[in-house]
Amino acid sequence: MKAVLGLEDGDSVVGEGFGVEGSCAGELVFCTTMTGYMEALTDPSYNGQILMFTYPLIGNYGVDEKNFQSKGVKALGCVLRELCRVPSGGPALGPYFERNGLLGITGIDTRRLTIKCREKGTMRAALIVGDDSREEAVDRALSVPLITEMDLVGEVSCKQPYHIPGPGKRIAVLDLGIKKNMLVSLGRRGADLHVYPHDTPHDVIKACKPDALFISNGPGDPKRAVAPVECVREFVGEIPVFGICFGNQIAALALGGDTYKLKFGHRGTNQPVRYRDGSIYITTQNHGFSVDGESLPEGCTVSYMNVNDGTLEGFENRDLGIFCVQFHPEAHGGPLDTEEHYFDEMFRRIC
C-alpha cells in the first residue's frame, strides 16, 4: 500500500504502508529502544502520539502478546525504517497490524526524521495509509491540536475500579494509563491492590483505607490532568504517596511545583540517571514533560538527575512520605535494574 507521513513544518515522506488503510494525526515522537517494540507500542503513555523507532529493523522476533503493557496498541501509528517480514518466532508484526486495524509506514529515512526532531523538537504529524497525498498529510498535521491542549488520560484509564488481592500492604492505585508491569511489580511484593479510574474523588479512594497511594504513568501534559492532581493533593500528608513517570509529575503539581515540556523528550531503554549517592543507573524512559526541580516546595529533595541533560528524574519528601521517579523501574531495562532499587524502597517506607 502507498503511505505518506506529513509534518507540521511542511515536510513529508512517502513509504510503504502496513496494517490497514486509514489515517491518524498526533505528535510524532521517536524511541531509541532496540528491542521491546511491542511493550512500547502497547504503552498507554503513547496515546495521542505517532511512534517512530530509531532502530532500523523492527519486528524480527514477531509479536509476543504476553509482554503487552495494555490491551492492544495505544500509539496512533508506527513509523519504521524496515519492517521484518519473516520473524524468528511468533506472529509477524505486519499481519498483526492488519488484523487489529492499525496503521504503519515503513521504508522511510527514520534517521533523517529523528535528527529533525532533535533539532526542531517534537512536531505534529499525520500518517495516511492507502494514499500518498503529501499536501493532505501536511494539512492534517497542521489541523491536529497540540498535545498541551489535549486531555488524553481519560482515554486510557480504567473505567471502573477493580481489585487485585494480595496478602500485604493495601495500595490504592490511581490509574492514569498504567502499564501492566507496574501492577506485576507491586503484586510481586504481596500488595493488595485497589485500582481506581483517573477521576476518582479522594473520599472514594480513602474509603478503602489504603496504606499508601501509587500514581501510575500516563499520556500527555500533566497540567491537563486536573482531577488526579486535586485527588493527590488531598492525600499529601495523610498516607505515603508514590509515583512513576506521569505520576512523578502529578505529585509535583499536587505539591505546588511546576512542569514543562521537553524539546523532544526521553524515550528508550538507555537513559543514564545519577542517584543522590553518585551511583549511575541505565533506565527505561518514556516522557515528554519534566518536573522543574527549582519549583518544588521546601522539604523536597531531588533524588535522581538525568546524566545527559540534567533534568529531574525523581524527588522525595520524607516528612510527607513522598517518593517518586520519572523513569520506569518496572521495565527491566538491563542488568543493573532499578525495579528492586525503587519498589523495595517504596515498601520499606510504608509504615
Active site annotation includes 328 = yes
Q: Among 27, 39, 316, 330, which one carries the catalytic annotation?
A: 330
Beta strand extents in the chain (DSSP E only): 2-7, 12-19, 22-31, 49-53, 57-58, 77-79, 82-83, 103-106, 123-129, 162-164, 170-174, 192-196, 212-215, 241-244, 258-275, 280-292, 301-306, 312-317, 322-325
Q: Among 231, 245, 300, 324, which one carries the catalytic annotation?
A: 245
User: CA nearest 232: which of 326, 324, 328, 341?
Assistant: 324
Instruction: Please give the Cα distance from 326 to 291 (Å, whole number).
Output: 9
DSSP of 202-266:
HHHHHTT--SEEEE---SS-GGG-HHHHHHHHHHTTTS-EEEETHHHHHHHHHTT-EEEEEEEEE
Beta carbons of 51 and 27 less than 8 angstroms apart? no
By three-state DSSP, how is residue 339 classified?
helix
Active site annotation includes 316 = no
Active site annotation includes 330 = yes
User: CA nearest 40: which of 85, 92, 79, 95?
Assistant: 79
What is the Cα gyration radius of the chain?
20
Instruction: Please give the Cα distance from 129 to 23 (Å, whole number).
Output: 6
Q: Is 336 exposed, middle or buried (0-12, 13-18, 19+ CB in 10 A)?
A: exposed
Q: Which residues are catalytic?
A: 245, 328, 330
